[in-house]
Amino acid sequence: MEAFNQQAEAQVRQRAFQLWEERGQPEGYETQFWLQAEREVRGEDDGIGATVNACSAKSGGGSDGPR
């Protein structure tokens, strides 16, 4: 069971990093990217992209993401 948890954590870490890079490496969104990655790895992603929208709203960047 622990091996699975370590594997899942590694997948989440890799996906969170990928999300961060895709969004232009913004500062201050580590938790949002991590939580989004956890949802995706667990198969709970609803496809809405709430994290992306939250980043855009916080940055004032509109629908095209953080600037």
User: What secondary structure does DSSP assign to 5-65, as a single string?
Assistant: HHHHHHHHHHHHHHHHHHTT--TT-HHHHHHHHHHHHHT---SS-HHHHHHHHHHT-GGG-
pLDDT (0 to 100) of residue 33: 97
Q: What are phi and psi of 26, to 5 degrees?
A: -70, 150
pLDDT (0 to 100) of residue 60: 47
Q: Which of 57, 47, 56 is nearest to 24 (CA)?
A: 56
Q: What are phi and psi of 36, to 5 degrees?
A: -60, -45
pLDDT (0 to 100) of residue 3: 78
Q: Which residues of the chain have pLDDT under 70?
A: 1, 4, 45-67
